[in-house]
Chains A and B, each alone.
Chain A
C-alpha cells in the first residue's frame, strides 16, 4: 500500500532524509527505530504532509497515488493517520465535537452523508469501551489539560474512530508509564489486521514487547541501514545504536 523510493526530504533546504526506501504492505506492522536525530519524526511528518518538510527527491506511492502531491487533509481522508508525538490542545473545542468534525470531513470527501448523532454516540461508546477509555475524557476540550498518558490514549481513540488504512505512530510510547503503554499497545493490537498497515516509530525496544512488529528497520542519518524481523529490535536493545554506527564505519560508511 505504501512504497517509498529513494526519498530525500528536509527543512529549510537542509536534508534530513537522504535516500530512504521502505515498502509497507497491507496488514503489516513495520517498526522504525533509530537514534535521536536520525530522521524518524521527519519521516512521519513528510508522510502526513506537514508544510515545512519538503521532499526534494524520490517518490512516495500510496494506494497507487502520488502521496506527496496530496494536501494533508486529503491524505487523512484517504486513510493516512498520524498519532502525534506531541498532540496539541485546542481549547474550547470538545473532543467529541472535534471527532465528529473529522469523521464528517472524511465522509464528505468520500461523498457520504454526515454521521447522525445516534450512530456517532454508539460508535463512541463502543470504541471507548473496547479501548478502555474514560468517557469523561471525551467531553473535555481536545488535549487541553490532558496528562501525557491521556493525550496518547486520546490519539489511539481517534485512530480507532477514524479507522485509517495506514497508521503512523510517532514515538507514541515516549513519556508513558507502563500502564499507559499497555493501553496504547492493546489499542494498536486490536486494530491490527483488516488490511491496515502500521508504521510504529520508536526510540526504545520496550514498546515492541507489546506491539510485536513484522519488520524492524533501523534508521540512521536519514537512511534505513538495516532491516530484519522482530529479533533485530532485541539485538539493538542489547548492543545499542552505537553498535550499528561502528559497524557502518567498519564497512566504510
Chain B
C-alpha cells in the first residue's frame, strides 16, 4: 500500500468517528462489580439526565431483590455478577489486531465462505483502522435519506440527548423495570443500543439492516433497543450478522422494546451467530435476551423472525402483546444447536384485544450434543373476543446424542378463541440422505438441503438478501454434524 493510500485510509478512519454511528467515548473503564456508584458512574459518563439515572437506580434496587431464574432447560455454571465489568470504552486502536494476518484463520475462512467483503471482514474481526471505504459514503447517504423521511435512527445514548422526550415517554413501557432478573439488570446497566422512531404515516424508505450491519461494532453486552412506529407507519429492522462476531464478553443480556401504534407495522429480524464456544462448550456467549413488542393500537402488526445458530446458551422469547383490536403478532424461528450448545427459545403471544391473531412457526434443529427447547405461551384474556392462534413447532434431530423438547403453555379465558397447536419431531432420515446421494449429491450437501427445506417457512420471512446468507450460514454450521 502506498503512503498516499494509507493517508487516505487514515482520513476515512477519522471520518467515521465524525459521521458514524459509534459514539466516541474516552478510553477508560469501570472497576469490576456492580453497586450504585458504578451505575452513577455509567450515567455520568454518558451525561444522562436525572430521570434516566433514577430509572437505572430503581431497576438496580429491584434487581437486588430478585433471583436468577432457574426454570429454563439449560445448564451453566453460576455467573459472578460482581466479576463483570459493566462499563468499558471501546478498545483503543493499539489493542486491536493490526491486520487480518493476526486474526484466527478459522474465522477468516468462515467470512470468506459467507462472501463478506474484505473491508467488512476487518471491521467484524475488530482490526484496527477499520475504514470501510463504501460504508462511510453509504452510511452518510442513508442518514440523509432517513432524515428526509423524518425517521430517527441513532444510538439510544444519542437519542437520550437529542430526543429525551421520546425516550422518556417509551423506555421501559413494554418491558417494565422489574420485569425479571435479566431485564432489571439490563435496565440498570445498559450501555448502548439502537433507537428508531418512525413518524405517523411514514413508510421507512429502506430496510434498517445494511446500515446497522456496517456500524454495529461494540454495541456492548447490555444492549438496549427501542423502536417506535407511530400510527400508520412501517419499518423493517434487521439486527445481527451471519458472520461470527468477535466478542470478549460472555454474558449478553439485551432488552428490546417495540411499540406499534394504530395501523403500524414493525418487522424485526435477527440473525444471531455469536461465538458458540469450543467442542466442550467452553467460552461461548450466554445470550439472555428479553424482546417484547406491543401492538398498542388497532390493526397494528409486529413480526419477529429469528435465526439463532450461535451462542453457547440462547435464552429468549420474543413476544407480542396484542392490545389493539384486530392486531397481529407473528413469530418465525429457526434455532440450531450443535456441539454442546443449548437453546431455550420461543415466544409469548398475549391476546388482549378483539379479533387479534397470532402465528407461531418454530423450527428447532439439534445436532451433536446440542439441546433445543421450544417454549411458548399463548394467552387469550377474557376480553379478547375471537382471538386466533396457530402454532406449528417442528423439531429435527441429527444424530442420537442431541435432544429436542417442547413446552407449550396455552391459557385460554375466552370461549370464542380458536387456538391450534401442531408439533412434529423427525430424525433426519438415512433414506432421505441416500435418496440425495443416489442423485449425485454428497452427504453433507444432502443434509444442508434437507435442513434448509425444513426451515423454508421461516427463511422466506427474512429480507431476501439475508435469506440467502442464512441458508449459507446453516450450511456452514452443519458441517461435520453427520457421519
Contact = CB atoms under 8 A, between A and B. Distances in A.
Q: Do A and B come from one complex?
A: yes
A92 B453 CA distance: 4
Contact of B440 (A87, A92, A93, A162): A162
A90 B439 contact: no
B431 interface: yes
A50 B434 contact: yes
A90 B454 CA distance: 8
A105 B454 contact: no
B15 interface: no
A98 B439 contact: yes
A116 interface: no
Interface string B451-470: 01111110000000000000
B454 A106 contact: no
A87 B445 CA distance: 19
A88 B428 CA distance: 12
Interface in B419-433: 429-432
A48 B440 CA distance: 11
Contacts of B431: 88
Interface in A145-174: 158, 162
A72 B456 contact: no
A71 B452 CA distance: 24
Contact of B441 (A81, A91, A101): A101
B455 A92 contact: yes
A109 B441 CA distance: 10
Contacts of A27: none
A35 interface: no
A185 B440 CA distance: 24
A211 interface: no
B449 interface: yes
Contacts of B434: 48, 50-51, 72
Given A88-B432, A105-B445, A82 B438 contact: yes
A99 to B, nearest CB: 8
A72 B438 contact: yes
Interface in A48-105: 48-51, 71-73, 75-77, 81-82, 84, 87-88, 90-93, 98, 101-103, 105
B450 interface: yes
A19 interface: no
Interface residues of A, number: 29
B247 interface: no
Contact of A71 (B430, B437, B453): B437
Nearest to B363: A92
Nearest to B459: A92
Contact of A84 (B435, B443, B450, B452): B435
Given A93-B452, A98-B449, A141-B453, A88 B429 contact: yes
Contacts of A77: 440
A76 B454 CA distance: 25
B439 A158 contact: yes
B324 to A, nearest CB: 33
Contacts of B450: 90, 93
B442 interface: yes
Nearest to A103: B440
B399 to A, nearest CB: 15
B427 to A, nearest CB: 13
A221 B432 CA distance: 29
Contacts of A90: 432, 435-436, 449-450, 453
Contacts of B432: 88, 90
Contact of B437 (A76, A92, A162): A76
A198 to B, nearest CB: 16
A216 B449 CA distance: 39
A240 B434 CA distance: 34
A106 B439 CA distance: 8
A92 B457 contact: yes
A201 to B, nearest CB: 15
* Residue of A102, A109, A141 with highest tally of chain B CB at under 10 A: A102
A56 to B, nearest CB: 20
A192 B429 CA distance: 33
A234 B453 CA distance: 45
* Residue of B435, B437, B438, B442 with highest tally of chain A CB at under 10 A: B438
Contacts of B455: 92
A73 B440 contact: yes
A243 to B, nearest CB: 35
* Residue of B429, B452, B453 with highest tally of chain A CB at under 10 A: B453
Contacts of A51: 430, 434
A213 B280 CA distance: 58
Given A91-B453, A91-B454, A48 B438 contact: yes
A88 B440 contact: no
The 9 closest A-B pairs by CB, nearest first: A92-B453, A93-B453, A92-B456, A102-B439, A76-B440, A72-B437, A105-B440, A106-B440, A73-B437
26 contacts: A49-B437, A49-B438, A51-B434, A72-B437, A73-B438, A73-B440, A73-B441, A76-B438, A77-B440, A84-B435, A84-B438, A87-B435, A88-B429, A90-B436, A90-B449, A91-B454, A92-B454, A92-B455, A93-B450, A93-B456, A98-B436, A101-B439, A101-B445, A102-B436, A158-B439, A162-B439
Interface of A: 48-51, 71-73, 75-77, 81-82, 84, 87-88, 90-93, 98, 101-103, 105-106, 109, 141, 158, 162
Interface of B: 429-432, 434-443, 445, 449-450, 452-457
Given A90-B453, A92-B456, A105-B441, 19 more contacts: A49-B437, A51-B434, A72-B434, A73-B438, A73-B440, A76-B438, A76-B439, A87-B435, A88-B429, A90-B435, A91-B453, A92-B454, A92-B455, A93-B449, A101-B439, A101-B445, A102-B436, A102-B441, A162-B439
